Amino acid sequence: MLKYIFSLVFLLCFSIESNAQDKAKDTVKIPQRYGLRLGVDLHRLTKSLYDDNYKGLELVGDYRITKKFYIAGELGNEDKTTPDDNANYTTKGTYFKVGFDYNAYENWLDMENMIYIGMRAGIGSFSQKLNSYNIYEPGNYYGTNTVAIGQEFNGLSASWIEVVSGLKAEVFSNLYVGFSLRLNYLVSNKEPEEFANLYIPGFNKTYEGSKFGAGFNYSVSYFIPFYKSKEKVKEIKQ
């Protein structure tokens, strides 16, 4: 009986040792880079080149804090003239957004691409200028009469939250291109008494009777690594 017990213990120890060795072989330590990624929104930048009624720039950035989570934000400025059917107005202002992104994509080995969802809190400070408006006159041959006014409304502000979904892919070493879609909800909106904020920098176009808006961006950014940490990742057996 004692012989069988020693044999069983020996087999058990051998099995544990073998499993430990297999686990050691099945895992490798992959360096995970942490750092700052800075870039620019190509949509606003290129639109400023071909649209005479628009000038804008948005800087984008994120900082990796865990394997999956990133602190993210955008800082921008817009100068947009809207020639609407009823009025012609110019919106000028700056905005800032801050929040987080969660990377739902499981990268292979040392890849650092992202398919992410996230949220932002945004604030904007801006002014509106009513350049002119149209009055419908039945007796007028052209039907409308344009009245130039040039009235300015300063000290306006708005705040909102955004739900973000997008992707970022490394095309060259540390160089990324990205695309994101954004669903916005207006939290506060300081408007002048005689004019509605039909466009808010960073939030985009507003709609009567609704607090929702939408937006998107195309970005190119560069990753600046600060340090590396090592995390165990299982190898896939062939």
pLDDT for residue 198: 92
User: Each residue of 58-106: pLDDT tens digit?
Assistant: 999 999 999 999 999 999 999 999 998 788 999 999 999 999 999 999 8
Query: Could you tell me which residue, 208 or 30, shows the higher pLDDT?
Result: 208
- Tens-digit pLDDT profile for residues 73-83: 999 999 999 99
Give the model's pLDDT for residue 11: 41
Examine the pLDDT at 154 and tell me if it is beyond 50.
Answer: yes
What is the three-class DSSP state of 3? helix
Residue range 2-234 in CATH 2.40.160.20: yes
Label residue 114 by pLDDT band (50, 70, 90).
very high
Quick one: 63 exposed, middle or buried, by C-beta within 10 A (0-12, 13-18, 19+)? middle
Say what percent of the chain tops pLDDT 90: 64
pLDDT at 25 over 60: no
Distance CA 129, CA 119 (A): 31
